[in-house]
Amino acid sequence: MKHYDVIIVGGGINGCGLIRDLALNGAKTLLIDKGDFSSQTSQGSSKMLHGGIRYLENLDFGLVKEALEEKNLWLRLTPHLCFEREFYLPLYRYSRHTPLMLQCGLFLYDFLSHFQNKPHDWLGPEAALKIMPSLDPKGLRGAGKYFDGIVDDAKLALECLYDALIEETSEALSYHEVIKTDKTQSGYEVVIKDSFSGKTFSVTCNFLVFTTGPFTDKLLPKLNIPWTPQLVPSKGIHLWLKPGTIKTDGSIVLTTKDNRVVFVIPQRDAILVGTTETPVREEIFNIQAHNEEIIYLLNILQQYFPDAQIKEDSIISTFAGVRPLAKEESSTQSLGKVSRHHKIYRPTSHSYVMIGGKYTTFRRMTQELAQEIVPRLGLRYRPNLTLNPLRQHSLMPTFGEKPKLTLSLVKKIIQSEKVKTFDDLIKRRLSIIESTEQAHQIMGIPLEEIKSLF
């Protein structure tokens, strides 16, 4: 029976970040995911690396500072996966904040970044409308300008995994499910099922770690891990709109009348719009956007961009994700006010569970856990190793100049980037935002030829 120092269950950004940290520090580690790596919550974000300017209202300065530091770190380490761009926050006469309050907030945002952000600015109504000509001019007082990062969220997680797999001490299995765990004197015996073949096998480990996000509360009791539900799951959906649907030269942050924040972000030859924040009342694996949620976002867009003619046929595709927010003492708190801080639990002497947190701060979160596990394995923990650039890049970059897609390149991607299905290929390795049915037209390669490779 094969033995590992650590088995990580859950291959999203936290699982991929943790296996990288552990592998760099010499721990023999196995990462397991029921589906493709980064195929759930970690590909369902707003595609941003950001401090979270709205968390300043919650006086969550420590979280914002940490997130801004991490944002600027990844902008330096992975310029092929992310880039900085301007965001505009329009203010209207009915807005809760005055121009002075907003400018103070933007200064604080820059201050918490150690002034590593490009400096903020304030634009009057005329200057704002030149940049955002689709914006409703009625009652517009101006717009604040600040800078945050755009990222391919799925690919950043994948490239952390690829970096880990360069080390001989690490392995990863997608489309494998943990179906049973048994506590042993020195750790755990874990039974794993191959989702394709149905075959099962067992492995052992010193430490079992769950980075299963919104699935944690339901999964752990099934696996005989002592656990009391700790999550407040929050569903968010996004729309990809056709380019030119909204005329703007920058990203826009809309503070809605019902006190929600909706981003409008031009990128990838499209416009990303999101997000919602609603309780989850459905199966969350491969969660989808519902029609009423789509209509909610379209209605907000029509309020702010009345002349843009935004309709359902403006939508290229939609996606959804579930935020694994950690419970707080106040059960009446709105989802938008629930803290984005993470929590780490130790249900047994040889198991750990991580929940909550922000995508942007994943490296700090997983580092906190790695620096506890590594010494328990008798190894020396070196905190600066995760500050190094990622060593294996995706063959198809998301931003900038891209190579011509050929059958030969597709074969190479499948062989080197842990691809198991056609969906893995188009959504997370090629970063195609169109629906699966439309993807083959964009790829320019006969669909039968590509599917024959699987």
Q: What is the pLDDT of residue 338?
A: 53
- Determine the Cα–Cα distance for residues 179 and 181; give it in Å rounded to an integer: 7
Helices 61-77 and 99-112: angle between axes, nearest 10 degrees? 60
Q: What is the CATH number of the domain that holds 236?
A: 3.30.9.10
Q: What is the pLDDT of residue 94?
A: 87
pLDDT > 90? residue 437: no
Residue 341 belongs to some domain of the structure = yes
pLDDT > 90? residue 56: no
Same domain (yes/no): 133, 239: yes
Q: What is the CATH number of the domain that holds 192?
A: 3.50.50.60
- Determine the Cα–Cα distance for residues 262 and 253; give it in Å rounded to an integer: 6
Higher per-residue pLDDT: 339 or 187? 187
DSSP string of 272-308, one letter each residue: EEE---EE--S--TT----HHHHHHHHHHHHHH-TTS
**DSSP bridge pairs for 170:** 29
Q: What is the pLDDT of residue 329?
A: 63
Beta-strand ranges (E) seen in 94-230 are 121-123, 140-151, 170-173, 176-183, 188-194, 200-210
The answer to whether 352 and 373 have CB atoms below 8 angstroms apart is: yes
Q: Using CB atoms within 10 A of its CB, is residue 116 exposed (0-12), middle (13-18) or buried (19+)?
A: middle
Residue 74 belongs to some domain of the structure = no
Same domain (yes/no): 91, 236: yes
Mean pLDDT of 390-397: 95
DSSP string of 331-371, one letter each residue: TT--GGGS---EEEE-SSTTEEEEEE--GGGHHHHHHHHHH
Same domain (yes/no): 383, 303: no
Average pLDDT of every residue of the chain: 92
Same domain (yes/no): 168, 196: yes
User: What pTM does this model have?
Assistant: 0.93
The answer to whether 87 and 251 have CB atoms below 8 angstroms apart is: yes
Same domain (yes/no): 344, 212: yes
Mean pLDDT of 413-436: 93
Q: What is the pLDDT of residue 351?
A: 97
pLDDT > 60? residue 233: yes
Q: Which residue has the tokens 């990303």?
A: 272
Same domain (yes/no): 134, 253: yes
Residue 445 belongs to some domain of the structure = yes
**DSSP bridge pairs for 390:** none
Summarize pLDDT for 207-222 with one digit per residue, the tens. Answer: 999 999 999 999 999 9
- Determine the Cα–Cα distance for residues 407 and 387; give it in Å rounded to an integer: 35
247 — pLDDT class (breaks 50, 70, 90) = very high
Q: Which residue has the tokens 């719009």?
A: 273
Residue 444 belongs to some domain of the structure = yes
Domain boundary among 306, 326, 346: 326
Same domain (yes/no): 187, 38: yes
**Percentage of the chain exceeding pLDDT 70:** 97
| Percentage helix, strand, coil for the chain under 3-state DSSP, each rounded to 5 | 35, 25, 40
Summarize pLDDT for 21-49 with one digit per residue, the tens. Answer: 999 999 999 999 999 999 999 999 999 99
Owning domain of residue 432:
407-451
The answer to whether 165 and 20 have CB atoms below 8 angstroms apart is: no
Mean pLDDT of 225-232: 94
Q: Which residue has the tokens 């006010």?
A: 337
Question: SS3 sequence, 168-186?
Answer: CCEEEECCEEEEEEEECCC
**DSSP bridge pairs for 7:** 30, 208
Which is it for the CA torsion 53, 55, 60, 62, positive or negative? Answer: negative
Domain boundary among 284, 307, 326: 326
> Count of domains in the chain?
3
Q: Give SS3 for 266.
A: strand
Same domain (yes/no): 185, 266: no
Q: What is the pLDDT of residue 71?
A: 96
Residue type, 3: H
Residue 114 belongs to some domain of the structure = yes
438 — pLDDT class (breaks 50, 70, 90) = confident
- 115 CB-side CA count, 13 A: 0
